[in-house]
Amino acid sequence: MTEIDHRVYLAASAIVFVIGFYSLLVQAHVLRRIMALNVMGSGVFLFLIALGSQTPGPVPDPVPRAMVLTGIVVSVCATGLALALADRVQDTTDRCEISEANRHTASSDRKSGIEAEHSEGSAS
């Protein structure tokens, strides 16, 4: 891999990370936010692999490769947990969006939702 290639991969990893970051800030839907986090993670993986590929020697640096290898599996599992939490958010609030606008307009809504849940809990 030439030096230019190396720079391109590193720059691409920064761009991928920032694309995910922007979506994380802008999107309200929790599913899109989880996807944004995954895109950010892909940027980090690309960065680590690009970094490890440039070291001198017969083989690429095994340490970043090992970190990415486990990182991918961990990120899949974290995504699974995030999806379960997102489903729980939707179950309890009847909404799958997190936004400031929602919080103001639907605050009375949510209050009644919590009360309903409480009465449900005491009934059972």
Which residues of the shown chain bind another protein in the complex (CB under 8 A)?
3, 6-7, 10-11, 13-15, 17-18, 21-22, 25-28, 47, 51-52, 54-67, 69-70, 72-74, 76-78, 80-81, 83-85, 87-88, 98-101
CB of 34 to another protein, least distance (A): 13
Q: Is 50 exposed, middle or buried (0-12, 13-18, 19+ CB in 10 A)?
A: buried
Nearer to another protein, 81 or 112 (CB): 81
The C-alpha atoms of residue 43 and residue 27 are separated, in whole angstroms, by 19
State the minimum distance, in angstroms, from the CB of residue 114 to another protein: 18
Q: Measured from the CB atom, is 57 or 112 closer to another protein?
A: 57
